[in-house]
Structures are given as structure tokens and as C-alpha cells.
Structure 1
Amino acid sequence: MKAMVFHGPGRRAWEDVPDPELVDPTDAVVRITAATICGTDLHILKGDVPEVEPGRVLGHEAVGVVERVGAAVTGVKPGDRVLVSCISACGRCEYCRAGGYGQCLGGGGWVLGHLVDGTHAELLRVPFADTSTHLLPDGVADEAAVMLSDILPTAYEVGVLNGRVLPGQTVVVVGAGPVGLAAVETARLFSPGLVVAVDLAPSRLDAAKQFGADATVNAAEDVEGAVAELTGGRGADVAIEAVGVPETFELCARLIRPGGRVANVGVHGKAAALHLERLWIRNVTITTGLVDTATTPALLRMLAAGRLDAERFITHRFGLDEFDAAYDVFARSAQTGALKVVLTR
């Protein structure tokens, strides 16, 4: 089969690799019908994730059709359309039993495209298939469903739920990339009084308005002053960090009012300053997290019911054999305007 293979920092190739086989009785082999690229894949290509070894097939987001299952798999069968979760879950360890699949102790967690071969391929071996895939309703398109592999549950769980968004509150989302836009969309499920999006790119601020932001602020301007003006000087109840650089985390900590919450979603590769000398007296809560995907079934039900619009994240479409072009477009999002690129058979 063909797959996108990591060959070290800055080096990737769409090349022939052996077809995946069933290794454990809980495995399934899935024929990929739709996949997308994540910012984390770009971090890997930059060398920011040293655990990823040369020769690894990239990717952790996909939809496909089950081709083969191991002897212990009972929840899916050949021919089933499934969403492949970005998080694999053994289902038995103490974290999985509590819904903390991202911290799985039984060989799961974030493994696809990280510790085992991933989704940017024609075929994929899915560990723990019963607890790491989701059957797709007939009315849900592949392109929409693949947005639930990662960005929507990540934004919803690590941003909105960790931030404890409540009706009438002010939510500031710093970073209007795909995950930030997903945070804007899912925050609105809780009827906040005001949603503000912050980004440097005018195109992404325009997108944030389409996703439901009530106001936008260019990050090159006085963001603290703008948020203070919008909130009568009080600041935000919740600030969701969706970039992953020290400056945006520190900005979020300055934007919140006493009793406010900072929900960090971004993947950080450098240390950020934590100004406890200012925060300790203000009853501030800061949360971090890797997505667990425990909310994926609920999000799928919302998608099937028309409560979520997942396809509007897609700005570029490619064939499954056009991964090189798709990576180029996604990596140059500032020039191309790319939010999510989708590759389909």
C-alpha cells in the first residue's frame, strides 16, 4: 500500500510500505476513505515530537471501512463504516474505566502516527478496535465525520468543558485555527453571553465570525484593552488558549477576571511564564489536557441531528493519493487560507 512516511525532521515521502496485519486479537484493519492533517503532524515534521521515529506512518484522524477484525473484536465487523478516534483506548485500565482514554495505561492513548503507524495511508491497523472506533450513522458523510476524530472533541473537552463555560459568560478564544474555531462552535452550545476570537490572520477572524464569534480582535492590536472594553473592564470568564506558544498562554492569563478559568488546548514546545505573583489572589483556575474523546459519541449524535456543522471546517479537498500536495497547502495556511484539508478515495 501507499502511505505518508516520516523520515526525520523536514523529510516525508508518499511511498510503498507493507500492508498492515492483525497483530493482537483486539485489532481491526480499516481501509481509509477519508483523512485529514493536523497541526500536530506538522510539529512532528519539525522534529518537535522526538518519540516519533523515522519510518513511522503519520496521521491520527480518519474514517474508513473495516476490512478485517481480530478474534476478540465484537463491536465492529467487516463492511462497517467507522470513525477512527485519534485516541486509542484499552478499555480496561483505571484511566479508561474513568473515561480518561488519553492517559490509557494499557497500550493506548495517543499512539496512531506517534508510537504506531497512523492514518495517512490506504490501510490502517487500529488497536483496541471495539473501544477506539465509532460506527457511523448512514446520514453522516465521511468528510464531516473525520472532523470528529480530533479537532471537535479536543476543543469541546479540553477547551469548553475544562473551561466550564456557562450561559451568559464571556469566552475569549485565542487562536482561530481549526481547534479554536471548533471551540467557538462548541462553546455556543452553552449559550455564552459573548464569544470573542483573537488571531493575527484576518481570514481566520472572518472565519471565526462565520462560526459564531460575536466579536473579533486582531492579536497585533491591544487585545487586553479590547476585551476590557467589551466586558466593562471585568475581563473574560473563560479564556481558551488554542495556539501553543508562550505569548498566547500568558495573554490568556491576563485576559481573565477574578475567578476566571484558562483552558489551555494548544500543544506547547517551549516553557511559558506562570505569573503566580499576580494570579494567586484572583482565584484563577488553569487547566491543561490531552483529549480523551469520551464525548465523541455525543458529538456524533449532535452531528447526525444537525446541531453541529462539521463540513464548514474544510477549505481544501484532495484525493487520497495527493498527500504531498495536501501537506504543502496545510503547512502554508497563512498563504493558502487552509483550515482543514480532507483527502478522500
Structure 2
Amino acid sequence: MKALTWQGKRSVAVTEVPDPELREPTDAIVRITSTAICGSDLHLYEVLAPYLAKGDVLGHEPMGIVEQVGSAVTDLAVGDRVVVPFQISCGHCFMCERGLQTQCETTQVREKGMGAALFGYTSLYGSVPGGQAEYLRVPHADYGPIKVGKELPDERYLFLSDIVPTAWQAVQYAAVDEGGTLAVLGLGPVGQFAARIGRHLGHRVIAVEPVAERRAMAERYGVETVEGTGDVVDELLQRTDGRGPDAVVDAVGMEAHGGGGSAVAKAAQTAVGLLPDKLAQKAMETAGVDRLTAVETAIRAVRRGGTVSLSGVYGGEADPLPLLTMFDKQIQFRMGQCNVKRWVDDLLPLVEDPADPLGVMDLTTHRLPLDDAPEGYAAFQEKRDGCIKVVLQP
């Protein structure tokens, strides 16, 4: 089959790889009909190369049609249409029963000290072949896949695989009181949905984003926007009676652009990228390699006693954070990979609503065949041609 494979830093290619096969009685094989490029895929493209091997199949936002099921799978049948969440979870362990599917004790990658295995996302998360491919083997298919109807187009459902529940969890973790103000840093796909969800839940939302077309998209949903080229913290304070927003969602993560600290981290990322993989992995585990502009902005901007909700991905183990400020301001932090299945019952009615309140049909800017995936990665990474979200069709 054809699949999008990692070849090196800023290098991906569509190649022929072996078709997936059933390995366990709880497996299923899904023929992919749509699959998206996620913002966190760009971290693989740019920063997390030490944890990848040439030929790894990428992608963790897929949906499609069930082609085969293992003997222990009773809730799926051949022909079912499903969305596949990005994490692999069993549904019955201690963590899954508590709605913490990204900490699933059955699929935890213990040799790396990490949580649940993820599709297409490095050796840190199990080196599981991903969904930017014609077919996908889905472990624990007796629990993970989300069955959906056959009448609505793929894009009504596709983003349930990751970015809609990720944004929903980010806003839930932000815990903004009725009538409160939520700031969102970054209006990529997750930031767009976080801002829209905040408005849907009745909050005032102020989003920070330097790219004009991304601000314009958010403004269609009643989101106030800040260009972010000046003093962002001062602007947010001015708009909130000098206190700051009640909560801030950081939807940017490790590759945030900004001032001097960001430049130092960029240099660290570049230096790490030149090391052999084993040395680079050790450096990432013992040095501060993330660009922390976004999270530092969130800490400075949020009101005292407020909440910072991190949905952007960070990869360094020794990143310096301003603990004095965090402690003095009595800031609460919530963060982590999204527990997709925890939020499905809340979100499925919203994505199926004819009114499309979250605008799931108003996000994709580029629809490409799988063969053109390398161009999709480049356009998304460079934010060119108005690229906000890329959907691939195998």
C-alpha cells in the first residue's frame, strides 16, 4: 500500500510499504478515506527527528471503513464507518476507567517512561504505524474506534480523531467561570476550535495570532483577536481591566516564535538535530530545548488565581519555567494529551448538528491526494497559501 513515511528532517515521502495485517484478536483493519495533517506532525517534521526512523509511517488523524476485524471484536463489523482516535487505549484498565485514555496502562510505553501508545508518533509512543496511508491496523478495536453514520461527509467527523476533542479538553481544563474571559494563544487548527468552543460555551474569547487569515477565520465566530506583534501581555491586560484573562489556552507548544529566549531554544533545537540519535535523545531529556514564548506569555498574562491550559506539545525535560511568578500568582496548570473517548458523547451531537456550531466544515483550507502529502506538510509548516488545515485522501 501507499503511505506517507518519514525520511529525515523536513523530508517525508509517499512510498510503498507492506499492507497491515491482523495480529491480535482485538485488531481491525481500516481502509482510510480521509486523514489529516496535525500541527503536532510538524514537530516530527522539525524537532523530534531523534525519535524517528527512516520509513516510519506518519499520521494520527484518520477515518475510514472497516475492512477486517479480529475474532474478539464484537462492536465493529466489516463495512462500519469509523473515526480512529490518535491514542491507543484498552477501555478497561485503571486509567481508562477514569477517563484518562492517554495514560492507558495496557498500551503505556513503559520502556520510554511515557503514556499510551499513539499512532504514527515516534518511538516515544511505541513506533506504531500511522494513518496517513491507504490502510491502518487498529489495535484494541473493540474499544477505540468511534462508529459514525454514513450520510454526512468525512469532514463532519474527521476532526473527532484529535483536534476537536483536544480543543474541547483544553477549554474544559481552563475552567472559565460563567461570564469569564478566555485567551487563546495561536490560531492553528486546535486554537481555532478552542476559540470557537469557548464562544459556544458562552465565554468572551480573545485570541492571539500573527497570521491575518487565521485571525479572520476566528473572527467569523465572534472571537476578538490580537495580532501578537507587539506587547501581547500588555494588550491582554488592557482588554481585561488590568487583571488579565481568567484562563489562557496555549495552543502553540514547543515551536513558538518570539524573543531572545525563543532564539536560544531554536539554536538548541538546531544543535540537537545535528547529533546522532542516541545523543540527541539524551540531550532532549536533559536540556531545555522548547521555545517557551507561548507558555511564558500565558503565565505573565493570566490573572492571579487563573488557569493556564496547555494543549500545545512540548518535548523538553529541563525547560526553565518562572516558578516564582507561577507560585506568587497562584496559577493553576492543566495539561496533557487529549483523552479522546472521554469527550465523544459531548462532541458527536455538535459535529452532527446541521447548524455546525463548531464550524467543522469551516477549517480545511487544503484538500490533497495522499501522493501530494509532502507538499501539504511544506505548506502547513511554512503557513503559506493561507494553509490552516490539510486533509489528505488516499
> What is the one-letter code of the residue matched to 2:21?
E
* Equivalence for 2:237: 228
Q: Offset of 1:277 from its aligned partner?
A: 1.9
Deviations 1:168-214 (A, max 9, x none): 0011101111111110011123211x21010121222212212331x
2:390 aligned to which of 325, 341, 345: 341
* Equivalence for 2:382: 332
Q: Unaligned regions of 5+ residues in structure 1, if any?
A: none
Q: Percent identity?
A: 38
Q: Is 2:148 the partner of 1:149?
A: no
* Equivalence for 1:166: 177
Deviations 1:99-130 (A, max 9, x none): 11111121262421022111011011011112
- Taking only aligned residues, the RMSD between alpha carbons, in angstroms, comes to 1.7
Q: Is 2:350 the partner of 1:302?
A: yes
1:116 aligned to which of 107, 122, 128: 128
* Equivalence for 1:50: 50
Distance 2:359 2:47 in 1: 33
* Equivalence for 2:276: none
Q: What is the number of equivalent residue pairs in this alignment?
A: 341
C-alpha contact 1:140 1:303 (8 A) present in aligned 2: no
Distance 1:45 1:27 in 2: 29
Distance 1:170 1:161 in 2: 13
Q: From the superposition, tell whether residues 188 and 178 of structure 1 become closer, same or farther in structure 2 (CA, over 3 Å).
A: same
* Equivalence for 1:318: 368
* Equivalence for 2:260: none
Q: Offset of 1:10 from its aligned partner?
A: 3.0
1:178 aligned to which of 181, 189, 192: 189
C-alpha contact 1:89 1:102 (8 A) present in aligned 2: yes
C-alpha contact 1:316 1:342 (8 A) present in aligned 2: yes
Distance 2:320 2:222 in 1: 31
Q: Is 2:304 the partner of 1:254?
A: no
TM-score, normalised on structure 2? Answer: 0.83
Distance 2:373 2:48 in 1: 21
* Equivalence for 2:72: 72
Deviations 1:27-61 (A, max 9, x none): 10000000110122221122415333322110001
Q: Offset of 1:320 from its aligned partner?
A: 3.2
Q: Unaligned regions of 5+ residues in structure 2, if any?
A: 109-115, 122-126, 254-290
* Equivalence for 2:141: 129
Larger mean Cα displacement after TM superposition, 268-277 or 320-329: 268-277
> What is the one-letter code of the residue matched to 1:249?
V
Deviations 1:258-280 (A, max 9, x none): 21111111112455442232232
Q: Offset of 1:139 from its aligned partner?
A: 3.7
Distance 2:379 2:329 in 1: 43
Q: Offset of 1:76 from its aligned partner?
A: 0.9
C-alpha contact 2:183 2:245 (8 A) present in aligned 1: yes
Distance 2:387 2:352 in 1: 25
Deviations 1:281-312 (A, max 9, x none): 33210122111101023211211124332121
**Residue 205 of structure 2: SS of its match in structure 1?**
strand
C-alpha contact 2:39 2:189 (8 A) present in aligned 1: no
**Residue 196 of structure 2: SS of its match in structure 1?**
helix
Deviations 1:3-29 (A, max 9, x none): 111123333221111110001111100
C-alpha contact 1:134 1:297 (8 A) present in aligned 2: no
For residues 198-277 of structure 1, the aligned pairs below 5 Å read 198-213=208-223, 215-244=224-253, 245-270=291-316, 272-277=319-324
> What is the one-letter code of the residue matched to 2:154?
D
* Equivalence for 2:124: none
Larger mean Cα displacement after TM superposition, 107-116 or 170-179: 107-116
